[in-house]
Amino acid sequence: MSILMIDVGNTTVDFRIWDQAKNELSNLMRPKTKDDEYKSSSRIKNLLKENNVTVSEIIYVSVVPEWNDVIRALGQSIDVPIYNLRNVVDISNYQFALDDVNKLGADFLSNFIGALNTYNLENGLVLSLGTASTIFVVQDKKFIGTSISPGLETSLDGLINMASLLKNNTYNKSNKLVGKNTVDSINIGSFNGHFYMVTGLVDFFKKHFKVDKVIFTGGISNLFIKEIKELGYIFDEKLIFEGLIEVFKNIKKG
């Protein structure tokens, strides 16, 4: 049985297929969230057909409400059950120390469940690098708080949009120690600097909390796999889907 799992983020919409019998997760597509070509249930239905994919159920996590309507319409058009993680998770099964857990982002929630189930996380940090760079702290398996910073690309886009002479260049991660021109300097400051910023926050949290494990996830983390592993941290690009899988299993348990 194939389950369509969808992670709707502010930058991309990640579609994956989970083969429940084999417990295998495979990539399907990852369009930009604002790409109107894909913001259509009929378009997605046709893509499933073109890829010879038949799904029996859909479960998704979303931080973009307009995409919720697209996914609901997709489920209706192919006549399968649909589960929104936000609506099906029993919050009472988990521990939180927040002002209002009902306002916690669904992406945080899915990553939290994924970290608890996959890594038995008792005390540690989970970093998700995407549109925003977020960190949440877990102590004794309790979600106790977060840090949210503008993401690498978000920060870089803000700089470029404020300075007209920077717009017609390509920016990438750099191995150089110091820039000798504007592009190299921005590469070092934006890419390398962002990674040192988030790892600096990790060091800060380590001074105040018990941290046995540090887990990186999110699309931007792919740029820093080597550095993450050199620091002895965990890289898991599918953590949010591991949370979705656990939630789906709990639904089926009744």
Q: Which of 79, 107, 157, 203 is catalytic?
A: 107
DSSP alpha helices (H): ranges in the chain? 41-50, 65-78, 85-88, 106-119, 152-162, 182-187, 193-208, 225-230, 239-253
- Residue 206 CA to residue 213 CA, distance in Å, equals 10
Contact 198/190 with Cβ under 8 angstroms?
Answer: no
| Residue 216 annotated in ligand binding | no
- Residue 135 CA to residue 144 CA, distance in Å, equals 11
| Residue 105 annotated in ligand binding | yes
| Residue 131 annotated in ligand binding | yes
Q: What is the residue type of 118?
A: T
| Residue 118 annotated in ligand binding | no
Instruction: Give residues with Cβ within 8 angstroms of 129, minimum separation 6.
Output: 151, 152, 198, 216, 217, 218, 219, 220, 221, 224
| Residue 8 annotated in ligand binding | yes
134 backbone dihedrals φ, ψ, rounded to 5°: -115, 150
- Residue 3 CA to residue 254 CA, distance in Å, equals 17
212 is catalytic: no
- Residue 175 CA to residue 184 CA, distance in Å, equals 10
| Residue 151 annotated in ligand binding | no
| Residue 35 annotated in ligand binding | no
| Residue 11 annotated in ligand binding | yes
| Residue 243 annotated in ligand binding | no
Token look-up 């008792």 returns 122
| Residue 89 annotated in ligand binding | no
| Residue 140 annotated in ligand binding | no
Instruction: List residues forming the annotated binding site for ATP.
Output: 7-14, 131
Instruction: List residues forming the annotated binding site.
Output: 7-14, 105-108, 131, 182
List the catalytic residues.
107
Instruction: List residues forming the annotated binding site for substrate.
Output: 105-108, 182
